[in-house]
Amino acid sequence: MTDTLTLKITSPVSCLCDFTYNFYWQHKGLELEPSTPIPDQSGSDHTYKDLVEHLISGGDVHITGNPGSRLASSLGVDLKYFGGSGKAIETGNIIIDGDTGTRMGISMVSGRIYVSGVVSEPMGNIVEVVSDMNGYRCFRSITDILQNGMEDDEFYHTKNIINEGEIPSLRLADGVLRDTIGARNSRNANIEIIGDVALSTGILMKNGIISIEGNAGMNTGTLLSGGTVVVKGNVGEFAAANMRAGNLILTRKTRGYMCANMHGGALFVKSDVKVISPTKKCQPTSNDLKMLMDILETNRLDAMTYRKYAIC
């Protein structure tokens, strides 16, 4: 029988079950201290760290009340900052009796989240599957599905389709707005999004192709570490920020602050753009042109209209 930690909150609390503790390495405890008791809890004195460690041990966390934003951020990531491997680990599940705030499950890679109420958008790197718990909606990580398959699950929305095989192909057409799609994916797989996406598409992705038929928000391709992200609509600020490897292909309008702190990989755009040094405009290679032709399913003449920006 699974061990369950219970928590009752009387008002929304953000960053519950957040494996990053609200990106602790950035604020160093000024915004959230893992060992401090969670505010507005009733009948218990659990800390933020208690919830995370319980999930890591394989136990479930059952929350009564309405969690705020960033519930289950990076759920299942053995984070290097805290001495981990950086890889996915198995975790327990999260059960919510209430509504959840925005960005639930950003960069999530394993485990399940069950919610009895409303889930606010944008959501994170998650997709709804048919629930095995009466009265609850069930969400799994997109990355987890690509890495491990659907198992016995079915998508709740019939517009979402997956073709499993040596190279899985996932099509999301449910109209849900999501952040961090494909986070940390290392499998050669294809993700097609019919509609818009929000923040940080492809963050820390190492392999595969994400193709977005709509617009993308800020930080598209941030920390991209391999594979390819294609945006066929407009894209927000800070595209390719901290990019390490892979390709980011933007076919329409872009915003500012592109390629900030870029370390590797390449950005391909249809027109000249202003990028942040040391990134600069480079001459596309024959391999670049072939890649563009293959991924965009276009001809050589169209591929030659793209500008390349990289550390070159």
- Select from 122, 155, 159 the least CA-distant residue to 137: 155
- Coil, helix or strand at residue 6: strand
Domain boundaries, given as residue ranges, for the chain: 1-157, 195-312
Low-confidence ranges of the chain (pLDDT < 70): 1
Amino acid at 286: S
Question: Tell me, what's the pLDDT at 2?
Answer: 73
Tokens of 231: 């945006």
- Whole-prediction pTM value? 0.96
- Select from 68, 133, 56 the least CA-distant residue to 98: 68
Whether residue 278 is preceded by a cis peptide bond, meaning omega within 30 degrees of 0, is: yes
Question: Tell me, what's the pLDDT at 94?
Answer: 98
In angstroms, how far is CA 216 from the centroid of its own chain?
13
Question: Tell me, what's the pLDDT at 294?
Answer: 97
Tokens of 103: 């960005």
Q: Going edge to edge, which strands form the sheet with 280-282?
A: 161-163, 169-172, 190-193, 209-212, 225-231, 245-250, 266-269, 307-310, 280-282
Q: Are 115 and 136 in contact (CB under 8 A)?
A: yes
Q: Measured between alpha carbons, how far is 208 from 205 in angstroms, rounded to an integer?
A: 8
Question: Tell me, what's the pLDDT at 1?
Answer: 56
Question: Which string of DSSP letters, residue by residue, matches 137-185?
Answer: EEEEEHHHHHHH--TT--BSSTT-EEE-SSS-EEEE-S---BSSTTTT-
Q: Are 142 and 124 in contact (CB under 8 A)?
A: no
